[in-house]
Amino acid sequence: MVMSSLEITIRAMREEVEGDVCSRSRVIDSLLDLRLEAGGRYDLVELIDIALVGVPGKNMVQAEWWREQLDIFELLAINPVEPVS
């Protein structure tokens, strides 16, 4: 199975997460980068927007929260939601 560039980006972001907390500004930058990468994937863009609104903390974000978000994004990147007609 060939990974999409979106999956590769998400996995690279996950590998950068170290320790118990992450810089909030770095998480927001990563979310914005991922949003650009997602392009026309409106299902994924919508989830990223929700995550952007809900980024916890003032300066730091729990690494567990960030990993959970990346897991959700990766699952959606692998299995896109198909519109119901």
What is the chain's pLDDT, residue by residue, as a tens digit (85 residues)?
556 889 999 999 999 999 999 999 999 999 999 999 998 889 999 999 999 999 999 999 999 999 999 999 999 988 776 665 5
Closest alpha carbon to 66 in 24, 32, 35, 37: 24
Closest alpha carbon to 31 in 71, 69, 76: 69
The answer to whether position 14 is within a domain reads no
Q: What is the pLDDT of residue 40?
A: 85
The answer to whether position 10 is within a domain reads no
Closest alpha carbon to 68 in 22, 36, 32, 33: 22
Determine which helix (DSSP H) or strand (DSSP E) holds 12, and give its type and residue range.
Answer: helix 5-16
Burial class (CB in 10 A: 0-12, 13-18, 19+), 80: exposed
Q: What is the pLDDT of residue 39?
A: 87
- How many structural domains is the chain composed of? 1
Q: What is the pLDDT of residue 4?
A: 83
The answer to whether position 85 is within a domain reads no
The answer to whether position 3 is within a domain reads no
The answer to whether position 68 is within a domain reads yes
CA distances from 15 to 11, 22, 67 (A): 6, 12, 10
Structural domain span for residue 64: 20-78
The answer to whether position 27 is within a domain reads yes
